[in-house]
Structure formats: structure tokens, C-alpha cells
Amino acid sequence: MYAIAIDGPAGAGKSTIARRIASQLGWLYVDTGALYRAVGLSGLRRGVDTASREAILPLLPQIKVELCYRDGEQRVLLDGEDVSEAIRENPASMAASNVSAMQEVRDYLFDLQQQIAREHNVVMDGRDIGTVVLPQAQVKIFLTAAPEERARRRQRQLAEKGIQVDFNQLLEEVKQRDWQDSHRDAAPLRQAEDAILCDTTHLDLDQSVDQILQIVKERLS
């Protein structure tokens, strides 16, 4: 089986680009960040502090996270409920950053990610795919963009949903998430030594996809 690992900071466009890449290749797309968001959402719904290891770890045996595919689209189930939209809200995003810093949570989800990669050709995106989850991936991409550009993209996404959020607030959240992800003890965000850096600050979606597809073709040829 072949694997493409796409890592990078929040808001770099990993999920959108990885989904497009997988579609064009006819491979399976795996959004690993959605798994951590589901665990974080579970903590939020139970009213616990998602930054507290003592509060989160006892919940893990009670949490059931699954990925399923409907009409070719990945859906995330939390305890049997489709939470694919709920996990994209800002509170779930910050909760995901909190729980993903816990090694026990990473271990809990690691086996699921590995199993999927053993059974399918995959495009998998996250924070530590090329460094920890799929170090054997044939293609590794580190996707990034300037914090200001990532905040603008997030603001546009929310505006399309009728949600107005202050740009400076979003920029601060992006920078805070970057710091948390790169300074956590468990699998911090970093570029794998054999990953190719792709900066999409000045690229649109089509240009970004074309650039990565070219890299994939070169690496797999």
C-alpha cells in the first residue's frame, strides 16, 4: 500500500488539499485531526477541562470514535452520532489541541490510523503523520502558510456560514494553536527530515493541489 503524509499547522489547508489529492488519485482520505476533535468534543460535552489529563484519561474507555464513508465523503461518528459538523466549531478546535498534547490520547487513536493505512492507499493529514504515524510514507509534505493568511482563510470560511468573527481574534487563536502544537511534549508539530516544504501563502487551492500532485508523481514514479 502507498501513503501520502501531509503535515502542517492549523489553517494551512491540509484537509481541503488532502481530500482533493485523494479524490484525484482514487485513494482513501483520512483526516486524523477529526479524530482528536471528536475526543475533544466528547470532553466538552461532558463538561470537563479538556486541558486536564486527570479529567480526560478516565473518559477514553467510554469514548467510541469511528470513521465511515458516505458517498465518498469521510464522516466522523462519536458514540454513534455523526459529529462531522460539530467538530469544526472553534471550541472543538481548541479542545483538540489540548487533548492531542496527551500521549495517552495519541496512543488511543494511533492503532486506528495505522490499521486504515495497512488496508488502503491513503492520503492522511495531521500534525505528526510523517514523523510518528506513518514514518514509512512514500511521500511526505509539510504544508504551511503565513499566520495572517490562515486567519483570513478561516474568517472567509466562517463568513460563508454567516458567522462574523474579528480578524485579530482569529489571528491570535491561530498563533496560540501554533505554539501549543509545536511545544507539546507528545509528538510536537515539526517537519519530517524527508518532507517537502510547501508554502501556500500566495497560492490558491488549485495551484496548491497541482504543486503537490506534481511532487507525488515525481516521488512515486
Euclidean distance between CA atoms 83 and 95, whole angstroms: 15
pLDDT for residue 72 = 67
Cα distance between residue 217 and residue 149, in whole Å? 28
Q: Tell me, what's the pLDDT at 33?
A: 86
Taking the chain (221 residues) in runs of 10, the rounded mean pLDDT of each run is 94 91 90 91 97 95 86 85 93 92 90 87 92 95 96 91 92 92 85 95 94 94 84
Of 112, 97, 101, 29, which Cα lies nearest the Cα of 63?
A: 112
- Residue 111, pLDDT score: 84
